[in-house]
Amino acid sequence: MTGAPLAIALDAPDVATAERWAVAVAPHVQVLKVGLELFATAGPDVVERVRTGRDVFLDLKLHDIPNTVAGAARAVARLRPRYLTVHASGGADMVRAAVEAAPDVTITAVTVLTSLSAADLDAVGLAGPPRDAVRRLAALAVGAGAGALVCSPQEVAAVRAEVGLGTVLITPGVRPAGADAGDQARVATPQQALADGADLLVVGRPVTGAPDPGAAAAALAASLA
């Protein structure tokens, strides 16, 4: 596929802005990501409106009982996303239900959100430092059939060692050197994330918040060439 191994997060407040961003960045990237806010604002039709010849990463982070997640995965599979996220913490049966309900979609298991620090994990009762929690959830999800995982760039090397080469590793929390970390607690540069074994980097505000998102996407893609 042409374009850099980047998924641009179209976290826009309205469809018109999302479409403008999609058109601007599509020549430079592989994937466009539709998250929960845009999907809830614009509805399912937004997936086709922003596709612009690129794969779509539908980031809904499904987390419910297996039967409900299966139904939701089956419903959105008709939108033909390349990736669909579920929470690995929903358990092996839930992940497996999504995989079976949407066989033509790469079910992508979110391990530990990049906004969570070690203290946050302690507060919600998730044992161990982030790296250990991520590795446990990664192994669980891949064992249940997930074809891709979402983990922070700080854990990607450990996850790659855990699951091997057959699983797509997607890393949010990627920030170009000098960029504001925003609400991300566990970050790294794009170059470091790729060197550690990531396959696809999720970038949002450093591109979409730039005065010229297309130019920002082009510059970031060139830095990875």
Bridge-based pairing state of the strands 148-150 and 4-9:
unpaired
For this structure, is 61 an active site residue? Answer: yes
Task: Identify the H or E element spanning 4.
Answer: strand 4-9
- The runs of H, that is alpha helices, within the chain are 15-25, 36-42, 46-50, 66-77, 92-101, 118-124, 130-143, 156-163, 190-195, 205-208, 213-224
Catalytic residue among 20, 61, 63, 74: 61
Q: Which residues are catalytic?
A: 61
